[in-house]
Amino acid sequence: MTDEASHLFYQTRNPRPFLERGEGIYLFDESGKRYIDGSSGAMVSNIGHSNPRVLAKMKAQMDKATFGYRLHFRTHPSEDLAAKTAAMTPEGLDRVFFVSGGSEAVESAVKLARQYALTQGQGSRYKVISRFPSYHGCTFGALDLTGYDPLREPFAPMMEGMPKVAAPATYLDRDNLSEDERGLKYAELLRDRIIEAGPDTVLAFVMEPVGGASTGALVAPDSYYGRVREICDEFGVLLIYDEVMTGAGRTGKFLAAEHWGITPDIVAMSKGFGAGYAPLGAIVAPARIVEPVLDAGGFLHGFTYAGNPLACSAGLAVLEELEEQGLIENAARMGDVLMDELRGLMERYPFIGDVRGKGLLTAFEFVADRSTMEPLAPKLNAYDRLVELAYERGLIIYSRRTRGGTAGDHFLIAPPLIITREQIGEMMAILHDALDAFAEEVGLPVEV
Ligand code: PMP
């Protein structure tokens, strides 16, 4: 079918081939061409495609009931998934609220925070500080938290304009500070922002513990995480971790927060939580936040499809599979292998300025000059071209040009957590080939 014949639209017209089937880390189009799903779609398909356990569990649920409205029935899949989620998240995070996607999860976290503040007699608190750049979703509430101007600008008059603070993009800093000092420097920016906004008006701070689409797997120095937790506590500001992309094992721990021993006040998850088998997401919070809200009359929030038994049966099987196949540990191990491979690319390609990430959420960024970290000329359309050259060769990667909406082409490599060492080799061979083709096409030098 050509574009003209399609009734369907997304952000743009869709020139891609039709998907036929998926198997493990691979996807096949209708012509039979095979692709390595090097970005798990949009960091979604954490346990790979067509997992037999998940399909069997969903089929068994489908044979019983696909939907039962939560105000009419409790269901075992939703109760079991909530219990399993609470068991897999850090101690204290034991109340779970289901949604169908990441934007819904972020909005739910913020609304829970607000209702909790009201129960504490803190109605003056409503501002939610987030980072710039960042991505938290495209519905109005989540978009207001998103630090990415091109997506916000058309809708800016329709939003409150929540305060922003710089994300710790320390790889761009050219100061003489140690990594530790840099982490603390960025945390102090949050403290300044809270004071400037008026501490008794600030409800929450929301952050991606490892950046996703907006910052390309940005990891802050270790010192940042603990200091941010302290600052939030100092001012009674709730700390919300947006683990929509990082949650469910992607970074080598169930939650990325565990890398730094942080217990956030509320966590938002989606993507890998349903792993592409069902639209699913969740927020997880401690009883001390949820119970007062329930006691005060209930959470004034909820989506029709929330907690439906079919999606929850998929989610439950996904978490069982993560655990029983040791996929979170595999993500940590294979993440190290992948990171070494990506760092190796810097020897051959001088236009790769930075490689970063955690577990199997990794990225590399193009620069014109490593010493200044000046980005490549936008007219080269690098973020688009490399993706196309890889796609032609049977590798799917995910790219964005952000650094606050202006420049900085980065590429996310985030394969399913089931990937093997051999498959990483296969993926890297295609990536090399695509990078060579890109360098030749735009006339950039390659070290031989
Ligand atoms: N938060 C983060 C960190 C994300 O990466 C995304 C999706 N890219 C969202 C929220 C929004 O999720 P969704 O597209 O499912 O609404």
- CB-neighbour burial class of residue 97 (10 A; exposed 0-12, middle 13-18, buried 19+): buried
What letter would DSSP give residue 345? Answer: H
Classify 228 as helix, strand or coil: helix
Dist. CA 341–CA 333, nearest whole Å? 13
- By the 8 A CB rule, do 36 and 396 touch? yes
Does the beta carbon of 212 sit less than 6 angstroms from any atom of ligand 1?
A: yes
- All residue ranges of the chain with pLDDT < 50 are 1-2, 405-406
Dist. CA 307–CA 291, nearest whole Å? 19
Does the beta carbon of 305 sit less than 6 angstroms from any atom of ligand 1?
A: no
Give the Å distance between the CA of 244 and the centre of ligand 1: 6
Complex ipTM value:
0.99
Model pLDDT, residue 408: 79
Please report where in the chains the tokens 């489908």 appear, as a residue. Answer: 62
CB atoms within 10 A of CB 391: 16
Model pLDDT, residue 13: 76
Model pLDDT, residue 403: 56
Dist. CA 267–CA 326, nearest whole Å? 23
Model pLDDT, residue 315: 98
What letter would DSSP give residue 334? Answer: H
Give the Å distance between the CA of 336 and the centre of ligand 1: 25
Residue 354's DSSP bridge partners are: 365
Question: Edge-to-edge strand order for the sheet containing 26-29?
Answer: 19-23, 26-29, 34-37, 395-396
**Domains of the chain with CATH codes:** 3-51+326-442 (3.90.1150.10), 53-324 (3.40.640.10)
Residue 410's DSSP bridge partners are: 365, 400
Which residues contact residue 381 at a Cβ distance below 8 angstroms, ignoring those fewer than 6 apart? none
Cα separation values, 198 from 115, 129, 189, 235, Å: 19, 12, 14, 10
Does the beta carbon of 244 sit less than 6 angstroms from any atom of ligand 1?
A: yes
204-241 pLDDT, tens digit per residue, is 999 999 999 889 999 999 999 999 999 999 999 999 99
Dist. CA 415–CA 427, nearest whole Å? 9
Model pLDDT, residue 406: 46
Give the Å distance between the CA of 352 and the centre of ligand 1: 26
Q: Kindly write down the DSSP assignment for every residue of 153-215, as one continuous string.
A: GGGGGGS----EEE---GGG--SS--HHHHHHHHHHHHHHHHHHH-GGGEEEEEE-SB--TTT
pTM of the model: 0.97
Does the beta carbon of 242 sit less than 6 angstroms from any atom of ligand 1?
A: yes
Does the beta carbon of 101 sit less than 6 angstroms from any atom of ligand 1?
A: yes
Dist. CA 289–CA 445, nearest whole Å? 56
Among 317, 212, 338, 218, residue whose Cα is nearest residue 273: 317
